């Protein structure tokens, strides 16, 4: 069932991809920055809520 994606769907998918990239980027952090990551994650979650 091939059909054209609506702009809304494209945006939703792009947002999801960006969120995954963001999470991956937060996960690949040197150990010394581990505390920093938790703070950033909390802030990120607060922003989304």
Within 8 A by CB and 6+ apart from 26, the residues are 37, 40, 41, 44
Helix (H) or strand (E) segment spanning residue 8: helix 7-27
Q: Is 26 exposed, middle or buried (0-12, 13-18, 19+ CB in 10 A)?
A: middle
Section 9-34 average pLDDT: 79
Residues, the chain: 49
Section 2-28 average pLDDT: 85
pLDDT at 10 over 60: yes
Domain boundaries, given as residue ranges, for the chain: 7-48
Q: Report residue 28 CA to chain centroid gap.
A: 13
Return the pLDDT at 35.
62
Under the banding of pLDDT at 50, 70 and 90, the label for residue 45 is confident
């Amino acid at each position: 069932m091939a059909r054209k994606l609506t702009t809304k769907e494209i945006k939703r998918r792009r947002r999801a991809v960006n969120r995954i990239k963001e999470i991956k980027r937060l996960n690949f952090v040197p150990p010394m920055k581990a505390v920093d990551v938790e703070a950033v994650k909390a802030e990120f979650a607060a922003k989304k809520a």
